[in-house]
Amino acid sequence: MKSSCTLKDAVSPWMTASYPGIKRYLKFGTEKVFPKGAIIISPGVRCNDLFYIVSGNMKISLVNYQGEEKLVSIIGTGGIIYEGFPTGDNSSSIFVTTMGNCHLVKLTEHQLTSLLEKDPLVASDIIKYLHLKYKMLLSLYQGLLFYSPPQRLCRLFCLLSDTFGEKQEDKLMVYLRLTQTQLAELLGLSRVTVANILKDMRQKNILETKNKTFIFSNKLCDYCQNI
C-alpha cells in the first residue's frame, strides 16, 4: 500500500522487484531448499553464481574481523542474490544467509555468462538489481545524515508498509517478523534506542503491537514530522 508520509523518499532495505529475463531461464538452474541459517555466500569467498529466491527470505549482512554481524538488507520471494562479476576474481564482501526455509534456484557463473551474451533482458535484470541495491544503500546513508533516530524508524515503517502493510479504517497494519535488534541494525542504531522509541510511540498511543504486527494510528506521520 502507498503511504502519504513525506519522509517516504527512499528505497526499502527489504528489496522487492521482478526479474522476468532471469525467471524464464530458471528451468536450466539447480534447485535446492535450504534450512534456516544456511550460509549461501561468505565474505572473502569468490562467488559469481546467481541465486533466484523461489520462496523465503534471505538476509544480507556485513561482518567485522571480530565476527560481529550487522544486517544490511533483506531480499524476499522473487528476488535475486548476485554478488559477483562474470569472469571476475573479486571475492564477496558480504554474508548471505537464509532467514527461514528458502527454496532457491542457482544459475552458475558459466550459465549466467552465456545468458548475458545472448539475452539483453538478462543483462537488464542484473543492472536493475545492482541499481536497486545502490539506491537502497544510498537511502540508508541519507537517513544517517539527515534524520533523527525516531524519524529513521518511522521512515522505515513507511517504506515497509508498501510491501508488508495494509490500511484498516484509521490504522496502518505492518506485518513484520523483525526483532528490535534487526530493526536497529537496518537503521544503524542501538537496540536500546529502538526500544525507547517504540516505548515512546506506545505511550503516545501511536503504536501497539499484537501477534508480531505493528499497528499504527493515523498520528504516525505527524509524530514523525514533529519529533
Global pTM value: 0.84
The residues, ordered by sequence, that sit 6+ positions from 219 with a Cβ below 8 Å of its Cβ are 204, 205, 206
Query: Rounded distance, CA 185 to CA 188, Å?
Result: 5
Amino acid at 6: T
Ramachandran angles phi, psi of 174, nearest 5°: -120, 115
CATH 2.60.120.10: which residues of the chain?
14-142
* Pair type for strands 171-175 and 165-168: antiparallel
CATH 1.10.10.10: which residues of the chain?
147-226
Average pLDDT, rounded, for the chain: 88
| Bridge partners (DSSP) listed for residue 95 | 61
Fold of 14-142: Jelly Rolls (2.60.120)
Task: Report, as an integer, the average pLDDT of 207-222.
Answer: 86
The residues, ordered by sequence, that sit 6+ positions from 210 with a Cβ below 8 Å of its Cβ are none
| Bridge partners (DSSP) listed for residue 30 | 106
Most confident of 12-16, 91-95, 168-172, 191-195: 191-195
What is the band of 16 on the pLDDT scale with cuts at 50, 70, 90? confident
| CATH class of residue range 147-226 | mainly alpha
Q: How many CA atoms lie within 13 A of 154 on its CB side?
A: 28
Task: Report, as an integer, the average pLDDT of 6-35.
Answer: 85
Residue 121 grid coordinates:
533482458
